[in-house]
Every structure is written in structure tokens, then in C-alpha cells.
A and B are shown apart, each in its own frame.
Chain A
């Protein structure tokens, strides 16, 4: 009986140590969070660079390319929202993210949700091969980019 208790305690201790280590590894350094955010934003920019000329008629319509780029936007919006955790602001690390993000977090998160919804709509329209509908829905995604960069990103110099 005592042996079982001892074994149980040992398992619990090992579990706590290993679990703690795993958790530690999962929590990013602020620098890593900023690097990941920036990579994600560049990917968004890349997707928009693919989509905008097609929407504006400078490149031919291709539903699979358009759907793929739209899916990138959906994924990035979902991931991006989770990367602005407390302690990754300009007081801790070099970043263009403004402190207003954490002062008005609900408003900030809501813009990401709007982007996810607007980009999901783009994926649907691309998969339906609805070129006109896609062109009409495209600016709504762009608006979420500007709506967030205006109050929450440091102007670039």
C-alpha cells in the first residue's frame, strides 16, 4: 500500500516537472512573439499582393490561387490574434505594436475577428468561383487591416 502511495507521489512529481517544462517551452519570449507576428504580417502582405491585382483586373482571375491566398489570411488572422499576449508590448521589446493594444484589448481582438470573418467569406466566394462577389467582398478585408493599423501600430518612419 505504502509502495503504491510512494509510486503515486513519484509519478505526480515527475508529471509536475515535465508538465512545467513543457509549459515553459510553450511560453514564447517577447522577441519570439514579435518575430512571429512580423512574419505573419509579411505573409498577409504577400497574400494581399496576390489578391489585389486580380481583384483590380491587372491579373487574370484564378479561383484556386485566390482561394489559397484567402486561406492564408484566415489562418493568419486566427493565429495573429493569439500572438499579442501580455508582456510583448513596447515596454518589454522592440516592436511597432502600440501600448493601446493592451489598453483596448477587446476592441483590438474584435478587429481580428472581423478579419477572420471577412477572409472566410473570401475563401467561400473563391471556392464558388464567384469573381464578382469576391471583388465586392475584398475591400472589407482591407478595411480591417487599416482599422487595426490606424490606432494600434506605430507609424513607420
Chain B
């Protein structure tokens, strides 16, 4: 009788250990996607400006549920749902799928993303940052909003042709700090080039949508093919931001105020609200330091940048 009781006690002990082990496995499986650091990811999410193109703000849509129209010379793209919904979002993506999308511009099925998704910039993000970003995106509420098909004419709607575009315009690979530059300038380069993807709009593009390397950061006279002027942000004093003080630049990036007392609106207003206003003061200073040391390019986009 005593033996039976002891056996039963032992069995209960084994079961308890098994249960704890099972629970531990179950919990770790449940958070398997959260391999990255969500809080770091939240900051990177702001710095990367993901919300802008993936949220239908005009239609009061849910964060990252897609549907925002993005006008280009090739047609209108609609930002897709990138919430963690398993069918309509990216909920089934593995870490590798996420890294490949951001670094290579490839879908989980191997297809090419149109470069309206600025992976030519995001490719420069580090693996760690990509995984932290994914952890944050996957922690947000999911949406079952279906994706809206892009309204883009032939031949620009052929994904396979993006392969050719990539050969001409795309250099995959994460940012390697330049030892000849200060830490601040390297950090600023990472913030502006990899995360902020500033050059995507602040540079003119050729007829195939590639950035004109000689005029990188020197502004665009025909943004979105709609004649919208995007300022030259190289340090040229007459056609760029060479006459702006550090404080002018910080006032602009932190709250959108121009030296005239006017406040930015339009797409830059969105960038300020979503991204640059949320950077730490040190990161904003780093971004400014990076822009300051760019090669000044004479390129008049309009009379002069607003003063």
C-alpha cells in the first residue's frame, strides 16, 4: 500500500515536470515570432516610416492594414496589409521571409517586389534591426482588410521585369560603417539612407524609375510624375540647405517648422509626424551631421528652398 502511494506520488511528480516542460514549449512556440526586441523595433518602425505607405490615413484605416494610394509615374500603387494576419497580412512569414523581403526585395514565393517598396534603402538595415522591426510589427493588432490591386499599366505591372530593374539600380547588402567618418556621421548615414529612405524622394529618377546617382539628395522637380517639387537637401548654399543653421534643421525635423515660421505639410509633414519627430535628439543631430557632409550639388528645384 505504501509502495502504491509512493508510486503515485512519483507519477504525480513526473506529470508535474512534464506539464511544466510542455507549458514552457507551448509558451515559447506562441512567441516564436518575437525573436527580436519589440521596443527597439518600435523605434526602428518610426525611423523607417513604415506607417506612411502601409496605412490608409485618409480613410481612417487601421495602422498597417494597407490601402494607401502611392502615386508614381507608372501608375498608382496601393500599400499592402502588413499586419500579422495569417492570410491577408504577413502573419505566416518566417524571420527569413521578412529579412529577404527587406534585404532582397523578394516575396516569400521568390517573386520580386516593385521598387515603390523602398527595399533599395531598407536593404542597408542590419539583421538585428530587421528582426526587432518584425517583432514590433507582429505585436500590433491584425487586420483582415484585403489588399487592393495596384493600378499600374503594362509593362510596368510585370513583376518579372523588376529583375532587370534590380540589375541596373539595386545593390543589396547591409550598411557598413565607414571608418573614415565619425560615429555620428555613420549613424546619420544609417538613419537617412537605410531607415529614413530620404533619397527615395529627394532625388530625381530616370525614365525607368532609377535614382540619378549624380543628383542623389539634390531634389526632384517632378516627384511622382506629378510635377511636385522635392527640395535639394545637399549643403549647396543657393539651391540646397547650405544656409540653414543646425538649429533650423533640427526645428524642421523635430516639429516641421521652417525658418519662415511656416510649418511643413504634404508628404514631408507626414514624414515629420511619423518619423523625424520621434527620433532621439542625438539621432536627429546625427542625421543632420550626415546631410551636412554630403557633396554640395547645384540643382535648382525651385526658386530656392523655403527660407
A residues within 8 Å of B by Cβ?
41, 44-49, 52, 56, 58, 100, 139, 142-143, 145-153, 155-157
Asked whether, in the complex, the Cβ of A150 is within 8 Å of the Cβ of B229, the reply is: no
User: Are A157 and B265 also in contact (CB < 8 A) when A48-B257, A139-B255, A151-B58 are?
Assistant: no
State which size class the interface on B falls in: 20 to 34
Asked whether, in the complex, the Cβ of B257 is within 8 Å of the Cβ of A150, the reply is: no
Asked whether, in the complex, the Cβ of A149 is within 8 Å of the Cβ of B302, the reply is: no
Contact of B302 among A46, A100, A157 (CB under 8 A): A157
User: Are A155 and B265 also in contact (CB < 8 A) when A52-B257, A56-B251, A143-B273 are?
Assistant: yes
Is B214 engaged at the interface, CB distance under 8 Å to the other chain? no
Asked whether, in the complex, the Cβ of A142 is within 8 Å of the Cβ of B247, the reply is: no
Asked whether, in the complex, the Cβ of B247 is within 8 Å of the Cβ of A58, the reply is: yes
CA distance in complex: A145, B265 (Å) = 8
Is B262 engaged at the interface, CB distance under 8 Å to the other chain? yes
Which 9 residue pairs of A and B lie closest in terms of their CB atoms, listed nearest first?
A149-B265, A45-B261, A150-B269, A145-B263, A155-B266, A49-B261, A142-B255, A146-B256, A48-B261
Shortest beta-carbon distance from A7 to chain B in Å: 58
A148 neighbours in B (Cβ, 8 Å): 265
Asked whether, in the complex, the Cβ of B260 is within 8 Å of the Cβ of A150, the reply is: no
A-B pairs with beta carbons under 8 A, tally: 72
What are 8 contact pairs spanning A and B, CB under 8 A? A45-B261, A139-B277, A142-B256, A143-B277, A145-B256, A146-B265, A155-B228, A155-B267
Asked whether, in the complex, the Cβ of A56 is within 8 Å of the Cβ of B227, the reply is: no
Asked whether, in the complex, the Cβ of A146 is within 8 Å of the Cβ of B255, the reply is: yes
| Binary flags per residue of B200-228, CB closer than 8 Å to A gives 1, else 0 | 00000000000000000000000000011
Interface centre among A44, A47, A143 (most CB of B within 10 A): A143
Is B24 engaged at the interface, CB distance under 8 Å to the other chain? no
| Binary flags per residue of B143-159, CB closer than 8 Å to A gives 1, else 0 | 00000000000000000
B269 neighbours in A (Cβ, 8 Å): 146-147, 149-150
For the complex with contacts A52-B261, A151-B265, 14 further pairs of A-B residues with Cβ separation under 8 Å are A45-B261, A45-B262, A48-B257, A139-B254, A142-B263, A143-B256, A143-B273, A143-B277, A146-B269, A146-B272, A149-B269, A151-B57, A153-B265, A157-B302
